[in-house]
Amino acid sequence: MNIAMIAVLLFIVFLASMVNGLCPSECSCITSSAGDYVYCNSRSLGHIPDDLPNNTHNLFLQENSITSIEIQFCKEMPQLKY
């Protein structure tokens, strides 16, 4: 694969991440064809980050200090599977 094709591919991946939303600074995100995986484990979070990618299908929040989840969160993230 030549350098021009690699540059185009990287640009497309960058644009896709912009459309789906950026990863919260407290988390790590992986984008796949099945949706975004957002890892926010062990970050001492007291609440779920507000700026999750729109295509988040899997959200990992283990080992934090989150004690409740707003019902509105569930309504805003219907694609969330886990």
Confidence check: pLDDT of 10 > 80: no
Cα gap 49→60, rounded to integer Å: 11
Confidence check: pLDDT of 24 > 70: yes
Q: What's the burial of 14, exposed, middle or buried (CB within 10 Å: 0-12/13-18/19+)? A: exposed
What is the pLDDT, as a whole number, of residue 6?
Answer: 76
| Structure-block tokens of residue 35 | 């949706």
What is the pLDDT, as a whole number, of residue 27?
Answer: 95
State pTM to two decimals. Answer: 0.69
Q: What is the pLDDT of residues 25-75, one digit of tens each?
A: 999 999 888 889 999 999 999 999 988 988 899 999 999 999 999 888 888
